[in-house]
């Protein structure tokens, strides 16, 4: 998952690509919420039986350090123009009015998500809502709920692409994989050392800092309700 705006942008690009060629979506371990939103732009969706997908829902929020700052005796001063101009500041909690405004905005985005699924999967918004509301499904469950088309891996997706493109199943095609595979030298140089482990820990901390920074901005997310590593 990820940014709702980002997911919808990729969805639009996939819709444009479908006008030129078939676009087959192949889901691996996880393709939920924003990942599923993007997948709706494909001509066909194929997932593994154990894929985690669905999670049709949206979320937004922020970190609030108001209580911590009070304990530390730290005060801040802000000058704002507009009642909700600093709604996403980390220095205070949302007011009841701001929570209502944000909830209304999220409801609008959720309805858009429902419409995307409804149109792509030939289901009514009410049917989508019954299996939506942020719930995560396995590939097997998603197939029975009509959220995907078929079960299988990348080979099944390539076969489906050949059929839709009118290419013989026996004909060999070039498979371009991104990102590019690492060479033996790359793997050799990437051998873990104390330094690389230390740098990896720094990257984790940096990632957490980016997460905090992201939630400090007025951003709407389409995320699965847990993280996988």
Residues with catalytic roles: 33
C-alpha span between 50 and 143 (Å, rounded): 11
Longest Cα–Cα distance in the chain: 72
Tell me the sheet residues that pair with 191: none
Please give the angle made by the CA atoms of 146, 43 and 58, to the nearest 5 degrees. 60
Q: Is 68 exposed, middle or buried (CB count within 10 Å of its CB: 0-12, 13-18, 19+)? A: exposed
Contacts (Cβ under 8 Å, ≥6 apart) of 39: 25, 27, 31, 45, 53
C-alpha span between 92 and 90 (Å, rounded): 6
What Cα–Cα distance (Å) separates residue 177 from each residue in 48, 62, 125, 181?
Answer: 19, 37, 36, 8
């Amino acid at each position: 998952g990820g940014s709702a705006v980002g997911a919808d942008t990729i969805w639009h690009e996939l819709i444009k690509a479908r006008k030129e060629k078939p676009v087959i979506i192949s889901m691996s371990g996880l393709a939920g919420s924003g990942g599923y939103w993007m997948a709706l732009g494909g001509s066909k969706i194929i997932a593994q039986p154990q894929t985690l997908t669905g999670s049709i829902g949206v979320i937004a929020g922020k970190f609030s350090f108001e209580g911590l700052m009070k304990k530390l005796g730290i005060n801040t001063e802000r000058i704002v123009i507009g009642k909700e101009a600093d709604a996403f500041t980390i220095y205070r909690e949302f007011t009841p009015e701001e929570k209502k405004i944000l909830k209304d905005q999220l409801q609008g985005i959720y309805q858009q998500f429902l419409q995307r699924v409804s149109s792509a999967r030939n289901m009514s918004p009410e049917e989508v809502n019954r299996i939506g509301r942020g719930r995560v499904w396995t590939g097997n469950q998603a197939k029975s709920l009509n959220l995907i088309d078929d079960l299988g891996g990348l080979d099944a997706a390539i076969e489906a692409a050949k059929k839709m493109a009118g290419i013989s199943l026996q004909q060999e095609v070039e498979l371009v994989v991104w990102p590019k595979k690492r060479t033996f030298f790359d793997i050799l140089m990437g051998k873990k050392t104390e330094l690389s482990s230390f740098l990896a820990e720094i990257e984790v901390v940096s990632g957490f800092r980016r997460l905090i920074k992201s939630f400090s901005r007025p951003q709407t997310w389409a995320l699965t309700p847990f993280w996988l590593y």
